[in-house]
Amino acid sequence: MPAMDEPTTLLVVDDEESIRNALRRFLVQQGYEVTSAALCMQRGAFDYLIKPIDLGHLGRAIHHALQRRHTYLEGQQINQWLKDEVTARVAERRLEQANQERLSVATLEALVNALEAKDPYLRGHSARVADLSATVAAQIGATDEQIEAVRTGGRLHDIGKIGIREEILNKQGPLTPTEYEHVKQHVTVGSQILAPLVHLKDVIGLVRSHHERWDGKGYPDRLAGEAIPLGARIIGAVEIYDAMTTARPYQEKMSAEAAVERIRDLVGTVIDPAVHQALEAVVSHRQALVFLDDAQV
Ligand SMILES: [Fe+2]
C-alpha cells in the first residue's frame, strides 16, 4: 500500500490511443499517477481474460487463438509462395528475353555472313574484327559489358552494306566520288536496321560511328576524339588492320607487324593513339603465342 501522502499509480489499458490519453488526462487531474498500456494487443496478443478465469472461456480463447494463428501462418505461406512464384516467373521471362535477344543477334549475324560469303575477300571479316576488337577493348580496360557490346558491334558493323548496290560493293578498282558517297551510307543504313532492337542500344552507336576519325574528318557525324564512342574507335582501327592483313584484290596480304607499323602513320588523325597502343600490344602478344606454338611443333 502506498503511504497516504504518496500519489496512487493507476494502469490504464486500452488499445485506442485517444481513449488512453483522455482517461490519463482525467485521472492526472484527479491527482493520480497514470501509466498507460495497450501495445500487447497491437503487437499480436489475440485475446485477454479477466480474472477470475472461467476455464471454459480459457479453452475457447485458446482454441480461437490457435485458429487465428493457423490462418495467419497459412496466409504467410501463401504470401511466400506468391513471392517465389513471381520471382520464378520474372527469372523465366528474363531468360526468355535474353534468348530472344541472342536469337535476333544470331539472325543478323547470319545476314552478315551471307553478305560476306559472296565476296571471298570479305569472308570472315566481321567475325575477325569482332574477336580482335573485343580483345583490344579488354586490353584498354573496358568493362565486361562494354567488351560484349564491342564484340557484337564488330559482328554487325557492316550490316548496312545490305543496302548498298551490289555492283558498287563488288566493283574492282577505285570508286567514283558518287559511288563512295553511296558506300558511306552503310553506317546510317546499319544503324537504321538495328534501331528497333532496343537491347542493342549501345551497339547501334558503334555501328554508326565506326568510320569517324580521331581528327573529326570521318563520317557520318564528323565526331572527333573522345566524342566518338570508344568501341567505335576500336572497331574502326581494327577494321583497317584487318583489311591490311587479309588479301584484297588491290593489295597483297601484309604481316601483322607490318600492318601495325603502317597504321602508326594514322595515329592522331584517323586512329585514337590509346587504341593503337592497345592494338599493338594485343598483336605482339598474339605473335608471341604463334611463335610459341611453332616452337612446340
Ligand atoms: Fe564499315
Query: Do the strands 33-37 and 9-13 form a parallel or antiparallel pair, or are they unpaired?
Result: parallel
**Separation of 180 CA from ligand 1 center, angstroms?**
12
State the average pLDDT for the chain.
89
Q: Compute the distance from residue 161 Cα to the ligand 1 centre, in Å.
A: 8
pLDDT confidence band for 45 (50 / 70 / 90)? confident
Distance 186 CA to ligand 1 centre (A): 7
Q: How far is the CA of 164 from the centre of ligand 1 (A)?
A: 12
Distance 41 CA to ligand 1 centre (A): 73
CA 256 to CA 116: how far, in whole Å? 22
Contact 44, 72 (CB under 8 A): no
**Neighbouring-strand partners of residue 117:** none
- Report the C-alpha gap between 152 and 154 in whole angstroms: 5
> Is 159 exposed, middle or buried (CB count within 10 Å of its CB: 0-12, 13-18, 19+)?
buried
If one compares 288 and 98, the residue with the highest pLDDT of the two is 98
Chain segment 232-278, per-residue pLDDT in tens = 999 999 999 999 999 777 677 889 989 999 999 999 999 999 999 99
Dihedral, 70, 68, 39, 7 alpha carbons, nearest 10: -120
* pLDDT over 90, % of the chain: 58
Ligand 1 centroid to Cα of residue 11, in Å, is 85
State in Å: Cα 261 to ligand 1 middle. Answer: 22
Separation of 112 CA from ligand 1 center, angstroms?
12
Q: Which carries the bigger pLDDT value, residue 64 or residue 294?
A: 64
Q: How far is the CA of 116 from the centre of ligand 1 (A)?
A: 13
Closest CA to 48 of 32, 65, 36: 65
Q: Is the pLDDT reported for residue 208 higher than 80?
A: yes
Alpha carbon of 6 to ligand 1 centroid (Å)? 96
Q: Measured on CA atoms in the order 88, 91, 95, 96, is the torsion positive or negative? A: positive
Residue 291: pLDDT over 70: no
DSSP notation for the chain: ---TTSPPEEEEE-S-HHHHHHHHHHHHHTT-EEEEE-HHHHTT-----PSSPPHHHHHHHHHHHHHHHHHHHHHHHHHHHHHHHHHHHHHHHHHHHHHHHHHHHHHHHHHHHHHHHT-TTTTTHHHHHHHHHHHHHHHTT--HHHHHHHHHHHHHTTGGGGGS-HHHHT--SPPPHHHHHHHHTHHHHHHHHHTT-GGGHHHHHHHHHTT--TTS--SSS---GGGS-HHHHHHHHHHHHHHHHS-BTTBPPPPHHHHHHHHGGGBTTTB-HHHHHHHHHHHHHHHHHHHHHHHH-
The torsion region of residue 225 among left (phi > 0), alpha (psi -120 to 50) and beta comes to left
Q: How far does residue 207's CA lie from ligand 1's centre (Å)?
A: 8
In contact, 188 and 171? CB cutoff 8 Å: no
Instruction: For residue 50, report the distance from its CA to the centre of ligand 1, in Å.
Output: 88
Q: Residue 181 C-alpha to ligand 1 middle, in angstroms?
A: 13
- Which residues neighbour 144 within 8 Å (Cβ) at sequence distance 6 or greater? none
Which pLDDT does position 295 carry in this prediction?
Answer: 62
Provide the pLDDT confidence category of residue 2 given band limits of 50, 70 and 90.
very low
Q: Tell me what the mean pLDDT of segment 87-111 comes to.
A: 93
Whole-angstrom distance, CA of residue 161 vs CA of residue 115: 8
Q: Which of 146, 125, 123, 121 shows the shortest CA–CA distance to 136? A: 146
C-alpha cell belonging to residue 139? 586490353
State in Å: Cα 240 to ligand 1 middle.
9
